[in-house]
Structure 1
């Protein structure tokens, strides 16, 4: 009798003692990054483009409409991967090699990637897609913590292969640590996902994984598959003026924007749609059909990843984060920086697979609805990203959270999800303290301390956001402008003359941060480089 009692007591102790409970299963983490995609280019942020997978993730997850990136491709990637401001990671500008440590053009040894930080916590780590934070083999993903890699080491290329587009340029597609030659029928967005799915298949069943899926879509060149382009023939006949207004209204209805928000005026360099000739209208409609098709195909491939998770029985235990690396791109294909053959290809219709085109300001102004400016600047049009977080067991569904957050938060969030510790040293090097704040409380709907201030700098363009206030300037004028984003998210009413003391205080905040982060004034940096 006594023996039976002791057995029963032992069984109850096992059931109710936290120390004896099986460990909670660590979630898989998938980080998906779009390239040069504008703020309103997916359905759950107001677009007419068909993105059912992202829309469903948003509906059953979280949107943070005031989430920020670093306004340019490689600086954002460096910051996103390391949880530091890009200057602290060594990519203060682009991947141009410079002597100044903050601008050396590749990840330094005083930062760790999310992959490097998660491996000690038992994670397998995979990446597919665009790297763009160091071109030398010793700095490729497999040297920075990823177990497997497939993708484009460089910044952009044909979606159908790796043909160089600039003089004296070599483009590299790699599989792990070896160069890879694309096969017949290659299309980058599909290929990146194909390999990501292979990596997921190879993952040991008893280990959680981190997957960084960095699409090049919809970065120029405008390359899409015929069946996707066909879906958007005629979709852009209304023109940019009407489409901007329609997106704007949907964004207010969704709660992405406040009801009293204002739509920024059409870019002054863009004519009214009705003033265009028919050939001009057809050219833009063709560009937009291809651009939309690229985003559509990206969403289809996100759907493939979600389906794979279901097949693996991992869909309930995976957190997926989606965002874009900067605002829409105003860039065009021109002479000088591009090979003559590429420039000639830019004159072909975008739907021609042998073309090499971009949609320029006329497309980017629509993509960035409701904001002004584009990639490269620190206005909302350059830095605001359409952020979506989804994870059935972790992310509280159906919420639009308007609190500001930043790409530096992603590292801290991943470590929090994984129960991992940010290292003080790595491979014998002291590691710069992470800058982010974990978003897990936001995911769960609990109290979140947020940021005292957020900071931005790219090629002399500067900004600091503190609470609802944002101080921003454009290079080379360097004149501070002040906006209250609570009442003026589209930055139309400069209050700097009315609030000189606030300008002074926020400028001092920026200066202190810039010194700490290693920012060098851009004119000084350019002079040192001889630019």
Structure 2
């Protein structure tokens, strides 16, 4: 099947092919760093009634993939174009200077692509956004200039969930904008509640004019710092006292029962997963609460999303609304293995945070889960955020709406993040431009419309020979049929190409490279074509994404090389040491 598009006049402007009264509202909800089995409907112990109800009213995709970190995923999600072509091959905070010499390696959304919001706005939709943007904050780069009529947006990679403050030394402040202007958060801010409040406010401002709306709601949950209200935290105290290995196996078993993964799916153990039984009682207690806050933050997100669903029902809009929920990438694993050490405490303290057990997750607290619990959040998958393993790339995708026939169904066909934009346009009856939009050249959408899958008209939208490539900071993958070719660099990977049948072996436990050499070579050739066609640049020798983040932070904040060593010692060394701790046994 050819890339989704149309063969009309290349100068034409997209227009709706469906009358306004028949076009659905569309709500696109994006979690941040949510693991594959972090929802109840995917095997989690976390209470997510809103999303589980949507799953029962729609379709759950079990083989949906995204980029393994934030900005590239968002670029592809909102444009349907490969991240390298769209100008966002990596988050800008982690790009090497050698790469940034190239115009398509700036880490901000290029003017050569059109967002789904722009296309829907041009077709008569109201367009709204409330949440994290992270695709640029310079002239012409904010969401208010990329198709969204009303916005409140966080431009950075993340920020505190309780107040307007940065979470890493790279940022001097948390950069929030409303309708393109700098914005001051309210005193009673909590991210999930606030973002849903703004979404409801935006929708309500035009709810009676008969015009359909597109609302993009990218939550901060569960990006670091992991924080949640106390009433949600209390519900998870004691839940994780059995540790990460127990949790990982419990989730695997539940995912099997739900039909999310095959019954005989293997499950590996990451080298970064510590021995729970080797921890003393205080260490286990602290680790369990870190995960309790994580579960609480997921439930708080679900709770506030439920308020939006209730609002749509009260205003008699729910029956005509398509809701799409997914995550930008898999679970984040940067939390220190030993959060009680001096080194682990020094970084948050330098930013004015505390890590006290009693107040963990509340205002002023810096919390994050370690690689050990992150591995459980991605169960039964291998790896996590930043890496090309399934744990970094395979995430939940739920599509719900009254017009969907397969209520509560599971779809096991491969799908990719570039498929979201063409699927939304298909729901709206809007055809995308193939080569030009409003008189300027644009990149054509390469994703596929998932509508035929949702209507049960086809078994898959990617044929057995169709190849989908992916690259991030030297980590790489190619999907073809039921197979995945993957390379993970260090510190966790070994830099070797491996071949997996990810339909039967989603945990990537059985490397088929030696058994199927012909397939391996065909897929290697297909990856080389992908890399060439999408202008993928090699990473510099010795590149590591966290090391590059440290270097970029130093130069961004100081712009004086002489002071680099001093700031490293005072502020950033603890963060670097935390990362090094995760390399043991790798």
| TM-score normalised according to structure 2 size | 0.83
Residue 538 of structure 2 is aligned to residue 521 of structure 1: yes
The 8 Å contact of residues 222 and 350 in structure 1, kept in 2 or not, is answered as no
Residue 497 of structure 2 is aligned to residue 483 of structure 1: no
Gaps of 5+ in 2: 1-17, 337-342, 553-586
**Please, which of 395, 403, 415 is the counterpart of residue 385 of structure 1?**
395
Residue 339 of structure 2 is aligned to residue 342 of structure 1: no
Residue 223 of structure 2 is aligned to residue 206 of structure 1: no
Residue 471 of structure 2 is aligned to residue 461 of structure 1: no
Residue 313 of structure 2 is aligned to residue 310 of structure 1: yes
How many Å apart are 1:168 and its aligned residue?
A: 5.3
The 8 Å contact of residues 163 and 187 in structure 2, kept in 1 or not, is answered as no
Match of 1:359 in 2: 369
**Please, which of 218, 222, 225 is the counterpart of residue 218 of structure 1?**
222
Alignment of 1:238-387 (within 5 A): 238-265=242-269, 267-332=270-335, 340-342=349-351, 345-346=354-355, 350-387=360-397
SS at match of 1:442: helix
Cα distance in 1, alignment partners of residues 454 and 161 from structure 2: 35
How many Å apart are 1:27 and its aligned residue?
A: 0.5
Residue 457 of structure 2 is aligned to residue 446 of structure 1: yes
How many Å apart are 1:495 and its aligned residue?
A: 1.4
How many Å apart are 1:203 and its aligned residue?
A: 2.1
SS at match of 1:128: strand
**Segment of structure 1 superposing worse, 233-242 or 57-66:** 233-242
**Please, which of 84, 101, 104 is the counterpart of residue 102 of structure 1?**
104
Match of 1:78 in 2: 75
Cα distance in 2, alignment partners of residues 466 and 237 from structure 1: 40
Cα distance in 2, alignment partners of residues 23 and 331 from structure 1: 46
Alignment of 1:412-451 (within 5 A): 412-423=422-433, 424-447=435-458, 449-451=460-462
Cα distance in 1, alignment partners of residues 72 and 274 from structure 2: 32
Superposed CA RMSD: 2.2
Aligned pairs, number: 509
How many Å apart are 1:276 and its aligned residue?
A: 1.7
The structure number with the bigger radius of gyration is 1
**Please, which of 121, 129, 133 is the counterpart of residue 135 of structure 2?**
133
The 8 Å contact of residues 137 and 177 in structure 1, kept in 2 or not, is answered as no
The 8 Å contact of residues 243 and 366 in structure 1, kept in 2 or not, is answered as yes
How many Å apart are 1:46 and its aligned residue?
A: 0.4
| TM-score normalised according to structure 1 size | 0.91
The 8 Å contact of residues 20 and 212 in structure 2, kept in 1 or not, is answered as no
Q: Deviations over 1:237-264 (max 9, x none)?
A: 2222222111111100100011111222
SS at match of 2:246: helix
Cα distance in 1, alignment partners of residues 49 and 256 from structure 2: 20
The 8 Å contact of residues 477 and 485 in structure 2, kept in 1 or not, is answered as yes
SS at match of 1:192: helix
- Cα 1:433–1:524, aligned 2, differ >3 Å: closer, same or farther? farther
How many Å apart are 1:438 and its aligned residue?
A: 0.4
The 8 Å contact of residues 470 and 478 in structure 2, kept in 1 or not, is answered as yes
**Please, which of 36, 41, 50 is the counterpart of residue 39 of structure 1?**
36
Q: Deviations over 1:7-30 (max 9, x none)?
A: xxxxxxxxxxxxxx9776101111
Cα distance in 1, alignment partners of residues 218 and 19 from structure 2: 35
**Segment of structure 1 superposing worse, 416-425 or 189-198:** 416-425
**Segment of structure 1 superposing worse, 269-278 or 103-112:** 269-278
Match of 2:571 in 1: none
Cα distance in 2, alignment partners of residues 365 and 236 from structure 1: 14
How many Å apart are 1:347 and its aligned residue?
A: 6.0
SS at match of 1:289: helix
Q: Deviations over 1:52-80 (max 9, x none)?
A: 01111111210111000011011101110
Cα distance in 2, alignment partners of residues 343 and 261 from structure 1: 44
**Please, which of 36, 60, 65 is the counterpart of residue 63 of structure 1?**
60
Residue 501 of structure 2 is aligned to residue 501 of structure 1: no
**Please, which of 414, 420, 436 is the counterpart of residue 410 of structure 1?**
420
Match of 1:8 in 2: none
The 8 Å contact of residues 127 and 213 in structure 2, kept in 1 or not, is answered as yes
SS at match of 1:151: strand
Alignment of 1:174-185 (within 5 A): 174-185=177-188
- Cα 1:103–1:460, aligned 2, differ >3 Å: closer, same or farther? same
Match of 1:492 in 2: 509
Cα distance in 2, alignment partners of residues 336 and 101 from structure 1: 39
- Cα 1:227–1:449, aligned 2, differ >3 Å: closer, same or farther? closer
SS at match of 1:522: coil
Q: Deviations over 1:79-104 (max 9, x none)?
A: 10110111111001112472312211
Gaps of 5+ in 1: 1-20
SS at match of 1:135: coil
SS at match of 1:294: helix
**Segment of structure 1 superposing worse, 140-149 or 448-457:** 448-457
**Segments of 4+ moved more than 6 angstroms:** 333-337
Cα distance in 2, alignment partners of residues 270 and 172 from structure 1: 35
**Segment of structure 1 superposing worse, 352-361 or 458-467:** 352-361
Q: Deviations over 1:375-410 (max 9, x none)?
A: 011110110011111001235312101000011001
Match of 2:567 in 1: none
Match of 2:122 in 1: 120
How many Å apart are 1:339 and its aligned residue?
A: 6.5
- Cα 1:344–1:320, aligned 2, differ >3 Å: closer, same or farther? closer
Match of 1:145 in 2: 147
**Please, which of 137, 161, 164 is the counterpart of residue 162 of structure 1?**
164
The 8 Å contact of residues 335 and 343 in structure 1, kept in 2 or not, is answered as no
**Please, which of 401, 409, 416 is the counterpart of residue 411 of structure 2?**
401
How many Å apart are 1:372 and its aligned residue?
A: 1.1
The 8 Å contact of residues 319 and 394 in structure 1, kept in 2 or not, is answered as no
Cα distance in 1, alignment partners of residues 250 and 308 from structure 2: 31
How many Å apart are 1:167 and its aligned residue?
A: 3.1
How many Å apart are 1:164 and its aligned residue?
A: 2.2
